[in-house]
């Protein structure tokens, strides 16, 4: 309709020009005179040659103009190599890998449909290991599934993979050492390992004494502790005890009434527009009675505190540990050596826990000291980095950058980059042929807050944080391959446009951005979440096409996601065998050399198209 409207407007403008008075028109060019205004002449654009990774899966409309960019894409397609990776989560699949017979049958099945690489999660979020380690407790049970004490699934998997001629990588959840849902893991015992979180909470202030009392950060939810207040904007969920103190406020925080819970209930009061109700029980109620006076303004203030992750409000299952803690770092390096010297693995993969818990972690005292040393000056902590505003009565938390926020982002990314450099060197020392990979969330815009700059150190794109100082922290060049979690239920950009969805929230667009971010410094295999295509094999087929067209392969997550319905799709897609790019000796070095030559010659790839993905995708 927009194109039709534009056309009608253009026709109308032409008709108006034709009927305009002669005096309003431009003077005619005399016959035989040359046109004095140079006019641009362009030939119609040539269509891009189509590329379909899996012809057997049928045709699909793909954005080849942006899929085929980069030396890595050119070489992978020319050599007909393709990553075909299947991820096996440890705890979700424990029942499927707890005997040699099961492992052998599973690997044979995976290899028979054409996968060329398996990633086995040997150190899951909980911080325990599938194998007997000197540095971690062995995972013996998860829910109802058990692992026999005399069985090593990593050894069995390695033997089966060698027999089936399929690659095997060990995955490690790097900076997670506990599972909050199961209340277990080494971080529960080593509380000093836990990352320290900077948290902000609104409080009511006694103007006379300066004493502060915290307000429960969850509005309309009764505080569990008697030393916290609760704010309500809805009376339908308000049920104060008879002896509670109830303060009614208007939109300006002026006190309208102070009553007991029993009196408030009898009066049937409700807050005016923009107002709120504060309720305190026990000592919180006594505090309210002491400081709240009708007609007076209630004083609110944001309080900052530093708490271990298990006492914080950061959501999620992992018990994050401090990436700066020397024992945490050394333990992981020793586990890398342990794995690669004990088992015939192709390499190691660092899962998405190769990062900080959030923008407001780690704020431990040791981290403050290290940051101040790097900055060469003392800090007002945490305000020089970030401060927080909590709205009232909605209790929404908003982090506001401090004067040294940019330096904080760079320093955190630099630290993780340097640890990864040590880890990669450790892996290649333990096994010179080892390759190193990483799984990351696919929306690159999330990562400044998380401290992991997984792009190449020369990546150029229109992200505000991607400054000349932040850019060199990119660690793609330290890796052999990256699997971004392009976990969308919409396969292609064309699918999204046809259905009225954001093109950025597609497997194809996410793969494009990851491929451009890696900038031919590491292979990229776009990750697909099987749960997004449950009972939709045709959708999975399209997602496979999008992933392998926009990157150099595909990573499928996870074996536990009702995969049996999809074996026929994989068999059809992978009917023609292909070697994984990372498994070809010297191929990545060739790609990097060609990329460097092009860069030196001034050959520039087209600008990066940033189609916003969904924050949190793949995290």
Q: What is the CATH number of the domain that holds 200?
A: 2.60.120
Report if residue 17 sits inside a domain: no
Query: Do 327 and 227 share a structural domain?
Result: no
Query: Do 449 and 574 share a structural domain?
Result: yes
Query: Do 462 and 345 share a structural domain?
Result: yes
Query: Do 95 and 224 share a structural domain?
Result: no
Query: Do 257 and 325 share a structural domain?
Result: no
Q: What is the pLDDT of residue 48?
A: 83
* DSSP-assigned states of every residue in 460-484: --S-TT--TTTGGG--GGG-SEEEE
Report if residue 461 sits inside a domain: yes
Task: Note whether 147 and 139 are within 8 A (CB).
Answer: yes
CB proximity list for 346: less than 8 A, separation 6 or greater: 117, 167, 168, 169, 433, 434, 435, 583
Task: Note whether 394 and 219 are within 8 A (CB).
Answer: yes
What residue numbers bound the domain in which 227 lies? 196-311
Report if residue 148 sits inside a domain: yes
Query: Do 444 and 547 share a structural domain?
Result: yes
Q: What is the pLDDT of residue 474?
A: 98
Q: What is the pLDDT of residue 6?
A: 39
Q: What is the pLDDT of residue 269?
A: 87
Q: What is the pLDDT of residue 334?
A: 98
Three-state DSSP state, 326: helix
Query: Do 416 and 490 share a structural domain?
Result: yes
Strand order in the sheet with 230-232: 230-232, 276-280, 245-249, 255-260
User: What is the C-alpha separation between 351 and 440, in angstroms, rounded?
Assistant: 7
pLDDT digits (tens, 9 = 90+) for 226-253: 889 999 999 999 999 999 999 999 999 9
Q: What is the pLDDT of residue 30?
A: 57
Report if residue 389 sits inside a domain: no
Checking DSSP bridges between strand 212-214 and strand 196-205, what pairing results, if any?
Answer: antiparallel
Query: Do 238 and 132 share a structural domain?
Result: no
Task: Note whether 247 and 258 are within 8 A (CB).
Answer: yes
CA 511 to chain centre: 14
Checking DSSP bridges between strand 300-308 and strand 196-205, what pairing results, if any?
Answer: antiparallel
Query: Do 216 and 139 share a structural domain?
Result: no
b/e 40-74 (16+ beta carbons within 10 angstroms → b)? eeeeeeeeeeeeebbeebeebebbbebbbbbbbbe
Task: Note whether 118 and 166 are within 8 A (CB).
Answer: yes
For residue 304, what are the β-bridge partners?
Answer: 200
Instruction: Give pLDDT < 70 ranges for the chain.
Output: 1-35
- As for how many domains the chain has, the answer is 2
CB proximity list for 66: less than 8 A, separation 6 or greater: 512, 550, 606, 609
Q: What is the pLDDT of residue 225?
A: 83
Query: Do 567 and 529 share a structural domain?
Result: yes
Q: What is the pLDDT of residue 605?
A: 95
């Amino acid at each position: 309709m927009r194109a039709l409207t534009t056309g009608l407007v253009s026709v109308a403008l032409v008709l108006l020009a034709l009927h305009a008075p002669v005096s309003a028109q431009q003077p005619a060019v005399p016959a035989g005179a040359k046109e004095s205004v140079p006019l641009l002449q362009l030939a119609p654009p040539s269509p891009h040659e189509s590329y379909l990774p899996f012809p057997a899966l049928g045709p699909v409309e793909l954005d080849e103009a942006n899929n085929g960019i980069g030396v890595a894409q050119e070489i992978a397609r020319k050599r007909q190599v393709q990553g075909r990776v299947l991820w096996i989560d440890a705890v979700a699949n424990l029942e499927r890998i707890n005997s040699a017979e099961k492992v052998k049958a599973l690997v044979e099945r995976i290899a028979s449909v054409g996968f060329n690489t398996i990633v086995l999660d040997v150190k899951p979020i909980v911080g325990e290991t599938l194998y007997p380690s000197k540095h971690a407790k062995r995972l013996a049970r998860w829910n109802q599934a058990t692992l026999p004490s005399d069985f090593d699934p990593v050894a069995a998997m390695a033997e089966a993979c060698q027999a089936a001629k399929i690659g095997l990588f060990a995955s490690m959840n790097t900076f997670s050492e506990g599972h909050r849902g199961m209340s277990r893991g080494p971080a529960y015992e080593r509380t000093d390992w836990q990352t320290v979180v900077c948290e902000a909470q609104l409080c009511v202030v006694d103007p006379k004494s300066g004493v502060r009392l915290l307000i429960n950060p969850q509005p309309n939810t009764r505080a569990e502790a008697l030393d916290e207040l609760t704010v309500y904007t809805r009376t339908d969920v308000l049920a104060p005890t008879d002896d509670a103190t109830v303060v009614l406020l208007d939109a300006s925080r002026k006190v309208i009434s102070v009553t007991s819970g029993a009196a408030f209930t009898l009066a049937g009061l409700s807050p005016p527009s923009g107002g709120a109700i504060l309720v305190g029980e026990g000592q919180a109620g006594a505090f309210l009675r002491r400081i709240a006076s009708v007609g007076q303004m209630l004083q609110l203030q944001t309080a900052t505190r530093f708490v271990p992750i298990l006492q914080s409000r950061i959501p999620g299952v992992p018990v994050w540990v401090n990436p700066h803690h020397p024992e945490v770092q050394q333990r992981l390096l020793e586990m890398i050596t342990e794995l690669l010297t004990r088992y015939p693995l192709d390499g190691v993969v660092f899962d998405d826990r190769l990062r900080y818990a959030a923008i407001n972690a780690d704020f431990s005292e040791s981290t403050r000291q290290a940051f101040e040393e790097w900055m060469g000056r003392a800090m007002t902590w945490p305000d020089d980095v970030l401060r927080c505003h909590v709205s009232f009565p909605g209790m929404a938390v908003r982090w506001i950058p401090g004067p040294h926020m940019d330096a904080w982002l760079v320093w955190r990314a630099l630290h993780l980059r340097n640890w990864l450099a040590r880890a990669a060197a450790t892996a290649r020392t333990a096994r010179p042929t080892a390759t190193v990979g990483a799984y990351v969330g696919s929306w690159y815009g999330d990562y400044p807050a998380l401290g992991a700059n997984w792009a190449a150190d020369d990546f150029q794109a229109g992200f505000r944080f991607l400054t000349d100082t932040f850019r060199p922290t990119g660690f793609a060049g330290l890796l052999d391959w990256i699997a971004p979690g392009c976990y969308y239920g919409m396969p292609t950009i064309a699918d999204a446009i046809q259905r009225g969805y954001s093109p950025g929230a597609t497997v194809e667009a996410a793969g494009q951005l990851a491929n451009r971010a890696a900038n031919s410094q590491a292979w990229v295999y776009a990750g697909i979440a099987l749960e997004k295509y449950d009972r939709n094999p045709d959708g999975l087929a399209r997602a496979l096409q999008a992933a392998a067209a926009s990157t150099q392969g595909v990573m499928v997550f996870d074996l536990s996601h009702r995969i049996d319905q999809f074996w026929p799709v994989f068999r059809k897609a992978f009917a023609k065998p292909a070697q994984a790019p990372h498994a070809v000796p010297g191929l990545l070095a060739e790609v990097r050399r060609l990329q460097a030559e092009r860069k030196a010659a001034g050959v520039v790839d087209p600008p990066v198209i940033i189609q916003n993905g969904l924050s949190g995708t793949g995290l």
